[in-house]
Homo-oligomer: A and B are copies of this chain.
């Protein structure tokens, strides 16, 4: 410790952010101190404002300053389709893509034998209640193409089946802009199997 304890503490906290290591945390702390009016004070205020305002949506689990969240409250969205995602980050990614015009449901993770997460740690019961409440015709399982993600998708699909709702999953295939030579065998096989008329 050769700078004050205030700076050491700031660097230690910045280093906990995803994407920032100890070295980039020091660079960030330096930039913050050197741009006090333009960056540090607004960021401190924005953190306070976000902490005070942002809450999980009691319907879908999204994070927003209103409850229900902006997505759930939006009248222009198709309320008959619910897209199930692992995390709020995945929800945001789909929203940025602008590909889904229905509602969402955040599971809060996947089943994980290693992580010790079972069905009761996910918001599966809440999803079943939403679907049982009526008005839903399709549930899209937008879970990761990992072992845990697919195990979770199987379980959720099984639980949804008695409710008589259509359950779909995302297509596997060649990523847009991707080159075949860099793709793994599983993706290539899936893309070939799911081929469509040109």
Contacts and interface: CB of A to CB of B under 8 A. Distances in A.
Complex copy number for this chain: 2
A57 to B, nearest CB: 11
A63 B3 contact: yes
- Most B CB within 10 A of own CB, among A16, A42, A47, A64: A47
A54 B30 CA distance: 11
A18 B7 contact: no
Contacts of A71: 2
Contact of A44 (B3, B16, B44): B44
25 contacts: A2-B70, A2-B92, A2-B95, A3-B65, A3-B92, A4-B53, A4-B64, A4-B66, A6-B65, A7-B64, A9-B42, A10-B50, A14-B43, A16-B39, A17-B31, A17-B39, A18-B24, A20-B20, A26-B92, A30-B63, A30-B89, A33-B51, A34-B88, A40-B47, A40-B50
Interface of A: 2-7, 9-10, 13-14, 16-20, 24, 26-34, 36, 39-44, 46-54, 62-66, 69-71, 88-89, 92, 95
